[in-house]
Chains A and B, each alone.
Chain A
Amino acid sequence: MTESSGPVPPVSEGLLGAALLDAILPVFVTGSWDDGMPVLWVNPAFTESTGISTDDMNRRGIHPLLTLVEDDPDREPGQASLRAGKPTERMIRGQRANGAPTWWHVSMSPIPDGDGSVRMWLGAATDVSTYVQRHAAQLASLEFERRERADLDLVAQTSELLGDLEYPYALRDIADLLRALVPWAGFYLNDDGLMFADGVDVASPPSGRGRRHTRYVPESPVLAHQGDQLGDDAAGVRASVDQVQDLLDGVVDGPVLLELDGRFPAHSASGWLRRDLVRRIVEETGVIPRSVVVHGVAGRRRVLGLVASWHGAGTAVDGLVGPDPDEIPAEPQHVFTVIEVVARRAGTAIDNARLYAREHRLAEALQRAMLPEQAEVPGLDVWTYYAPNAEHAQVGGDWYDVLQITEGTVGLVVGDVVGHDVEAAAAMGQLRSVVRSYAFELATPGVVVDRVDQLVTGMRIPRSASMVYATLRHEPDGDVWAVQYTRAGHLPPLLLRDGTVTQLADAGGSLIGFGSKPRATARAELRRGDVLLFYTDGLIERRDRSLKVGLDALIETSARITARDAAGVGEELLSRLADAPEDDVALVVVRVPDPVVDAEVQPLSPRSRRWLLPSEPASIGRARHAVLRTCQAWGLPESASAELVVSELVANGVLHGWGNIALRLFDTGDGLRIEVEDSNPAPPVTTDGHPNRLGGFGMQIVERLADWGWRPAGSGKLVWAKLRPTGA
């Protein structure tokens, strides 16, 4: 039914002309470049788009087309093509008849003349606004995504930095990150007045308190030029508004805009911050800032500090005006969000550090209050040891006390409260106070523990406890110590004499608080060379054996002890029985020195010793005492140097360390090795860096006498020193 179409007839020139006339595409014909490209003809589509007819065009002088479009950077190369008579096309921006801005894609084709010169051009303009807008929107959304990713990345990096506030430049590094968003940013903390902060001192984090800001700000020529002196009179001072203080007080949520050319009272938050910011920003960027945006760094309960960010508006120091002399750039929303998030996270992290430091101080103070007491008893060699199980922090239920009751009478307690938690430690603290009180008041152990039973029942101490209480009375005739003891559900003390071990297993009774009948008191005697051993079950208790087997092992080990000093006895016991204790261990070794035998034989006992000392100044003297005795026992000549080194190391531990101080001594064969361990991971320093302050010479003394070093150990650090042999 259909006829096949024949060959298409050629389009006539007239038809082409009509096509151009009716085309929906705006088309125009111009004269040559040299003639100023007069518009010779436009089609109706052109007139419709631009609202301009051929006649209108020609009233616009030479190059009339240029009056329709905005200037653009590609104009030069385009015109070069037109001059040379080559076709060209480009994108230009103009306006439609209705005033709407429009992107045109314009192509200009030369219409060759007979002689090859170009006298006329055919131009076609396509409206590509939609395309350009879509493209721009795509670019914008890409840019938006990129920025969001960058912002998220920045926040993530910030969180990482805040995870380690011990690092002294955490806040400086975060400010550096923020400087990818703004030309300058910096942290301030409020600790009894604002201060610029590179980091947070985790040992003493900022309080967030303080309404008078007086920290020294160095002189700056810019400030001097602005006539800003601390003694500024009140003229022109805006006393009533202190936005920064309002931010610190939590009155406003912020951020606030601080105008740096404003005048504020010298010690107000705004005034101080203004001085410090102007000085810093001028020094670092060379521009006098006009204003900064200030965000609060808020903790849980109060604002701890500020983040100040400068957005670039200001005057160069040499008087040149910055890009936007009068315009204060508003903080873009995404910058605002990022800084706000960073400030909030910093606030939380600093607050955590603050709370942790407070808890730590509290725990330390309580621990110190519960420290065991070891009196130095003339005529007795006493060594004590207490190791809370590593899994149970620094507190436990085991305890001991060595009390000098009167001249020549010593009270000795070893006890064990059930459990390892804070409640056990608290119960222990109460119990030991009760025992101490009665020990000083009453002489006979059975009577003392009877009274303890009564009081404990009345006090309702929530945990049961076992205990041995003994008194040692010196009887000058024959240098003998009379021992009286009573046991409340506790393992028997051991008496070591010439390789035989006696269990002091009499006078047994029930746990503390459960005594139904009067406590008994048993007796023993301690002669020269004898060793008395008090311990808690942590020394012998293992999951894989019964307590009886453990006790047998202890007795067998004790029988083989060769050391002739209390610390040596303790060392032999610990190294054989309790190198990996499953429970707290408390151990008291009392030895009566034997001047004759002790000097004679060099025992085969291992040449290492350890002490656990409470973090208090009195421990320094005890440590020296310990090292002297050990040097004697081992026949080491450098005791004087050793004493000095130990004194400095333990003093450092007491001053700067945390928790108990462990002192260990080793005879390496070519010199004494001293190790001092505490729970503060911060390394020791050779000088404190204050040339005008005394002190800080301790480690220099150590350095002169010994090779020394340190390494992390457990949660803290271990400082070691190996004495150089005398005369080397």
Chain B
Amino acid sequence: MIEIATSSTTTTLVIAGDLDLAERDQFPEIAARVVGLRRQLLVIDMCRVTFMDSTGAAFLISLADSGRKRGGATVLRGADERDLFVLEVCGALDLFRIDRDHRCESSTPAAGSAHRPVSHPPA
């Protein structure tokens, strides 16, 4: 599930659940809405993302890329090591400002996912 919230300067995207091929159908519409809001800052909240693969990463990258083309910035918060690893393999880490200090409010994972495994991507 993906929610969009907005203030005068910032669009915040709160993503919950899995970010993979099964969710791809909703990506274009959300991207269009985010672009339409024309805020300088895009915050992507990943606290409740249970899983992201290269398809999900491609979605985040397209958001960050269209923001950058308009001179905006994209902040990624709550992404775990494995999500960052996927973005790194996609060569896209420098598109994002990574908020490493963010502490997710609720550590309750989204409904439907049993647990969130600790990631061990190789160095």
B121 at the interface (CB under 8 A from A): yes
Binds B, one of A212-220, A300-308, A537-545, A698-706: A698-706
B117 at the interface (CB under 8 A from A): yes
B1-37 vs A, CB cutoff 8 Å, 1 = contact: the mask equals 0000000000000000010111010000000000000
A258 CA to B56 CA in the complex, in Å?
Answer: 52
Q: Are A644 and B53 in contact (CB under 8 A)?
A: yes
* Cβ-defined partner of B58 (8 Å) among A620, A625, A695, A728: A695
* Cβ-defined partner of A694 (8 Å) among B58, B86, B122: B58
A688-728 vs B, CB cutoff 8 Å, 1 = contact: the mask equals 00000011011011001100000000000000000010111
- Chain B, residue nearest A706 (CB): B122
A640-B21 contact in complex given A651-B55, A695-B58, C-beta closer than 8 Å: no
Q: Are A620 and B22 in contact (CB under 8 A)?
A: yes
Min CB–CB distance B90 → chain A (angstroms): 4
A617-B122 contact in complex given A644-B82, A644-B86, A647-B53, C-beta closer than 8 Å: no
A628 at the interface (CB under 8 A from B): yes
List chain B residues, Cβ under 8 A from A621.
18, 20, 22
Chain B CB count within 10 A is highest, among A621, A695, A726, A728, for A621
Q: Are A640 and B58 in contact (CB under 8 A)?
A: no
Min CB–CB distance A339 → chain B (angstroms): 47
Q: Are B51 and A647 in contact (CB under 8 A)?
A: yes
A728 CA to B121 CA in the complex, in Å?
Answer: 10
List chain B residues, Cβ under 8 A from A700.
54, 89-90
Q: Are B53 and A651 in contact (CB under 8 A)?
A: yes
Min CB–CB distance A621 → chain B (angstroms): 6
B88-123 vs A, CB cutoff 8 Å, 1 = contact: the mask equals 011100000000000000000000001001111110
Min CB–CB distance B89 → chain A (angstroms): 5
A669 CA to B57 CA in the complex, in Å?
Answer: 32
Q: Are A724 and B62 in contact (CB under 8 A)?
A: no
Q: Are B54 and A698 in contact (CB under 8 A)?
A: yes
A639 at the interface (CB under 8 A from B): yes
Q: Give the contacts of A550-573 with B (CB-CB under 8 A).
A: none
A624 at the interface (CB under 8 A from B): yes
A643 CA to B117 CA in the complex, in Å?
Answer: 10
* Cβ-defined partner of B122 (8 Å) among A647, A695, A698, A728: A728
* Cβ-defined partner of A640 (8 Å) among B20, B91, B114, B119: B119
**Sampled A-B contacts (29; CB under 8 Å):** A617-B20, A620-B22, A621-B20, A621-B22, A624-B18, A628-B117, A638-B120, A639-B117, A641-B119, A641-B121, A641-B122, A643-B117, A647-B53, A651-B55, A654-B21, A655-B21, A694-B58, A694-B62, A694-B90, A695-B55, A695-B58, A697-B91, A700-B54, A700-B90, A704-B89, A704-B121, A705-B122, A726-B120, A727-B120
Q: Are B117 and A724 in contact (CB under 8 A)?
A: no
A640-B82 contact in complex given A647-B20, A701-B53, C-beta closer than 8 Å: yes
B61 at the interface (CB under 8 A from A): yes
Q: Are B114 and A628 in contact (CB under 8 A)?
A: yes
Min CB–CB distance B70 → chain A (angstroms): 18
Q: Are A697 and B54 in contact (CB under 8 A)?
A: yes
Q: Are A640 and B22 in contact (CB under 8 A)?
A: no
* Cβ-defined partner of B24 (8 Å) among A617, A638, A648, A724: A617
A36 at the interface (CB under 8 A from B): no
A563 CA to B20 CA in the complex, in Å?
Answer: 31
A618 at the interface (CB under 8 A from B): yes
A637 at the interface (CB under 8 A from B): yes
List chain A residues, Cβ under 8 A from B118.
640
A628 CA to B120 CA in the complex, in Å?
Answer: 14
Q: Give the contacts of A582-638 with B (CB-CB under 8 A).
A: 617-618, 620-621, 624-625, 628, 637-638
- Chain A, residue nearest B56 (CB): A647
A617 CA to B23 CA in the complex, in Å?
Answer: 8
A704 CA to B54 CA in the complex, in Å?
Answer: 13
Binding site for A on B (CB under 8 A): 18, 20-22, 24, 51, 53-55, 57-58, 61-62, 82, 85-86, 89-91, 114, 117-122
- Chain B, residue nearest A619 (CB): B22
A279 CA to B40 CA in the complex, in Å?
Answer: 48
List chain B residues, Cβ under 8 A from A695.
54-55, 58
List chain B residues, Cβ under 8 A from A647.
20, 51, 53
A624 CA to B18 CA in the complex, in Å?
Answer: 11
List chain A residues, Cβ under 8 A from B120.
637-638, 640-641, 726-727
Q: Are A694 and B20 in contact (CB under 8 A)?
A: no
A42-77 vs B, CB cutoff 8 Å, 1 = contact: the mask equals 000000000000000000000000000000000000
- Chain A, residue nearest B118 (CB): A640
List chain A residues, Cβ under 8 A from B51.
624, 643, 647
Min CB–CB distance B27 → chain A (angstroms): 11
List chain B residues, Cβ under 8 A from A726.
120, 122
A625 CA to B62 CA in the complex, in Å?
Answer: 27
The 8 A-B residue pairs with the shortest CB-CB distance, nearest first, are A617-B22, A694-B58, A640-B119, A647-B53, A697-B54, A698-B54, A697-B90, A726-B120
A640 CA to B21 CA in the complex, in Å?
Answer: 18
A639 CA to B55 CA in the complex, in Å?
Answer: 20
A701 CA to B119 CA in the complex, in Å?
Answer: 14
A225 CA to B6 CA in the complex, in Å?
Answer: 57
List chain B residues, Cβ under 8 A from A641.
119-122
Min CB–CB distance A659 → chain B (angstroms): 17
- Chain B, residue nearest A698 (CB): B54
List chain B residues, Cβ under 8 A from A638.
120
A728 CA to B21 CA in the complex, in Å?
Answer: 30
List chain A residues, Cβ under 8 A from B89.
697, 700-701, 704
Min CB–CB distance B1 → chain A (angstroms): 14
List chain A residues, Cβ under 8 A from B117.
628, 639-640, 643
- Chain B, residue nearest A376 (CB): B112
Chain A CB count within 10 A is highest, among B55, B90, B114, for B55
Min CB–CB distance B103 → chain A (angstroms): 21
List chain A residues, Cβ under 8 A from B18.
621, 624
A638 CA to B118 CA in the complex, in Å?
Answer: 9
Chain A CB count within 10 A is highest, among B24, B54, B90, for B54
List chain A residues, Cβ under 8 A from B91.
697
Chain A CB count within 10 A is highest, among B18, B90, B118, B122, for B122
* Cβ-defined partner of B53 (8 Å) among A625, A698, A728: A698
Min CB–CB distance B7 → chain A (angstroms): 28
